[in-house]
Structures are given as C-alpha cells and as structure tokens.
Amino acid sequence: MRVLLTGGAGYIGSHVAVELQQLGHEVIIVDNFTNSARGIENRVEQITQVSPEIHDLDVADRSQLEDLFSVARIDSVIHLAGHKAVAESVRNPLKYYRNNLSTTMTLLETMMAHGVGRLVFSSSATVYEEPTLPPITELSPVGLALTNPYGRTKAIIEGLLHDLAASDPTFEISILRYFNPVGAHQSGLIGENPTGTPNNLLPIVGQVAAGRRDRVSVFGDQFDTPDGTGVRDYIHVVDLALGHVAALNRLRPGAHSYNLGTGRGHSVLDVIGTYGRVIGREIPYAVEEARVGDVATSFADVTKAQRELAWRATRSLEDSCRDAWRWQSQIVSDEERS
C-alpha cells in the first residue's frame, strides 16, 4: 500500500513511517518542516533499510498538493500535519484556525478530486469537554466549549469528517484521539526534540536529566490524587504508531473515533520518579502553583480500540522513560560533536 503521511517528518509521523515501512508499505512523507527536522528520511532508513519518499511542501498549498497527487499513486492518507501547542493556540488562535482547518480542507478536496477515500486522522483527547470523569470513552462529551483553540480546531475537523463520510459513502475514516505520547524509538535514532520550551512533561524531564534545565516545574500538588499531582495517560509513541497501522488496516465506510492510550494514569511525580530510576539518579523538581483549567485525573478507556482495531498499548512507563533517555542522550552526543 502507498501511504501519504502529512506532517510525516515530525515526532509521531516519523515513528508511523517506521512501522509502516517495516510492514512493507510504501511511505510518502510531506512536510513543510516548520516544526520538524530535515533529514529524517535518513534516520528512518537506518532503522528500516528503506528510505521513504519525502516532499518539502505545505499541505495547505492546493497547487503543490495537486501536483503530488497527479504524479504519485496514493492509496491511503494518514493526516498528522497541523500546529499542536495548546498554550500557543491560546496566544495566537488565528494561526491555529488558519493552519489546521485550511490544511485539512485542502487535503480532503484533493483526495476527493483523485478518488482517494481512505483516511486516518490525527486528533486529540483535548476534544473532550472538561471536566470529564475518567476513564474517558469515545462517547464522552466532545464539543466546542473547550478551553483552547487547538482542541477546538480538532473538534471542528472531527465534525467535518463525520459530515463528509455521511455525504460520500466512498470515504473510510478513522479518527484517533491521542492521549499523551511519550518516549522514542528503541534505536535512539528518532524521538521528540521540540524547539524552544517543550509543551509536554517528558521532554522537560529529559532536558533536566541531561543538564539542559535546572529542574522540572510541577504545577500543583493539592489535586485529589494519591500524591497530589495531576494524573495523565502516557502512551509510548511506538504503541501510538502501531495504533495508526491498526486503524489503517481496518478502515471501513463512515467515520469512526478511537481513543489511543494505555487505559491507566500516572502522576507527574510517578513520571519524574520513574525517569530517575531509569537513569540512576534523582531528577530535581519544584512545586509551583497549579495552572488554571488543569484537571486532577485524565485517562482513556481503550476498549473500543482493542475490540475494533485489535490494538492495545504494550509498553510501560519504564519503557517510555528508558527509550526517551536513550534518545535524549543521543541529542546531547550530537550537540557535543557539532
């Protein structure tokens, strides 16, 4: 199968590319590299012995995308392209609406023009309205009354996909609602290396462990949880990538939503402590005031994905921390050599 990966040079996209290629699929990556590193195809090739086809283009550019679809035989699309930082979306909502919505609209119009109806869409657990008591199922409330524009763009796109599938029976769509992707490929060759201040916990812990930051900020320790810190569902990025493969293999008419998580939660202090045990030393942290809008506990009900996609996460928090540290150590070694 020839699979187009939009945003395929990014953290999640590169791991999806690896898993697809290891199963014999042909991968075509498109990315404009605004939040990803060039040369990722070389690292993917080191892991899989196959170099993916890669194109430097903006998916929102109809002309460029049309040219690609005209010359490349594409069977299916996994749509990962889009801005994804919650805090940034609050500061600059127009950027998020313009990019995330126009990119998806242009992609769907081009797919329709070329008779491509198989789509896996990268959504997010941020589409769920808060507060929602865990475990969160796919039937939990989803809507526009959300706390950030990023989540709202995902909810709007999900609605669009349901409307499109209802209007055109040739479309087969899986909507994957991620919880908290963490870790890296076990080879240490690909992983998450955000520019600027990371938006997620584990990269910050890794940077503290590597000496690039003084300490981890823990936002609140008075939540109604066993240790007072927030509890979240952390899923290893390779398990997440395999969830995309499972969804692609089981596409069916209509639009269908699935949670991708582990089905259990870990607190912030769990993550910091586990990372410290993996590397053999304590990770310094400081408790700060809780952020407005943070909920105490959030984790997924993954029963539907297990039942309909024959998929489940198998990697532990220890695996995630170990693989993340292997990747973080490689980043530090590369910086020291350069």
Pairing assessment for the beta strands 180-182 and 234-236 based on DSSP bridges: parallel
CB 174 within 8 A of CB 251: yes
Task: Taking the CA atoms of 335, 84, 178 and 50 in sequence, report the sign of the dihedral they define.
Answer: negative
Note every long-range contact of 17-24, with CB atoms under 8 Å and residues 24 or more positions apart, other chains counting.
17/44, 17/52, 18/44, 18/47, 18/48, 18/185, 18/190, 18/241, 19/238, 19/241, 19/242, 19/244, 19/245, 20/245, 20/248, 21/48, 21/50, 21/52, 22/47, 22/48, 23/245
Q: Is 150 a catalytic residue?
A: yes
Q: Which of 150, 234, 258, 275 is catalytic?
A: 150
Angle among Cα 85, 209, 324 to the nearest 5 degrees reads 60
Residues 64 and 119: their CA atoms lie apart, in Å, by 20
Residue count (the chain): 338
Question: What residue type is assigned to position 219 of the chain?
Answer: F
Residues that are catalytic = 150
